[in-house]
Amino acid sequence: MPWTREQIAARAAKELKDGYYVNLGIGIPTLVSNYIPEGVSVQLQSENGMLGMGPFPYEGDEDPDLINAGKQTITELPTTSYFSSADSFGMIRGGHIDLSILGAMQVAQNGDLANWMIPGKVVKGMGGAMDLVAGVKKVVVVMEHVAKNKDGSESAKLLKACDLPLTGAGVVDMVITDLGVFTIDENGGGMSLIELAEGVTLEEITSKTEAAFKVAL
C-alpha cells in the first residue's frame, strides 16, 4: 500500500531534529508540522520575514499584518522574531536554515529539481523557491511518485534528467514519495533507495522510476 499524503508528511517529520530551524513549503510540506516527534523542538521559518511561526489563529483573531509565505493568516509564539525580506533571505542563503521540505514536479538522479514552471503554461514566478533550494543545508522533496496525466497514463517524476526548467541544480538531498524514500549524494554519488512504503515491492518502485538508483534498504 502506498503511503497517504499524511504518511508522507509523517515520514518527512522524522528528518526533524531537536533545535532545527525549518522552512516548510505549501501542500504536503505544511502537514509535516502535525507530526513533529515528541521531545523535538523546532522553529518554523516563514521566508516573508518570521521565525517561530505558530498555528492558524482562532476565528476572529486574524491579523492582516501576520501572514505566512502562502499568504495565510497565522499566529506568533513566545519564540517569534520578525525581520525584513533581505534579512530573511540572508538567513536562507547564508545556510542558517537546517532543513527545507518542499514539493516538486521533477527530481533528477543528480539532485536537480524542477518545481516552478511548465513551458507554454502561464508563468507565475519562482517566489522564494530558488533561494531556498540553493541556500538551505538539507533539502527534502515530498511528492507523489508519479504524475497522473489527463489521459490516465502515468509519467515518472524521478528522472535521469529533468526536462522542465530547473529551480536548482544538484540541490535535493532526499526524496520522500508515496512509494519510498531516496537519498541523493551531494558529491555525485548518485541516488539510493533507503526505504520502501509497507507493501510496496522493489519491482513496483523500479518500474515507476526512470532515475538510476542503488538499493540500500
Catalytic residue among 6, 38, 47, 76: 47
Give the cell for residue 159: 528522472
* Subset of 26-45 contacting another protein (CB under 8 A): 43, 45
Q: Which is nearer to another protein, 55 or 201 (CB)?
A: 55
Task: Dihedral sign for Cα 104, 108, 111, 117, please.
Answer: negative
Work out which of 96, 138, 190, 195 binds another protein, going by CB under 8 A: 96
Q: Does 70 bind another protein (CB under 8 A)?
A: yes
Tell me the CA distances in angstroms from 195 to 15, 17, 34, 137, 158, one per residue in order: 14, 19, 22, 22, 15
* Subset of 107-126 contacting another protein (CB under 8 A): 112, 122-126
Q: CA-to-CA distance for 29 and 209, rounded, in angstroms?
A: 22
Query: Would you tell me how many other CB atoms lie within 10 Å of the CB of residue 120?
Result: 6
Residues in the chain: 217
Work out which of 28, 42, 51, 142 binds another protein, going by CB under 8 A: 51
Work out which of 49, 102, 208, 211 binds another protein, going by CB under 8 A: 49
Work out which of 27, 82, 138, 194 binds another protein, going by CB under 8 A: 82
47 is catalytic: yes
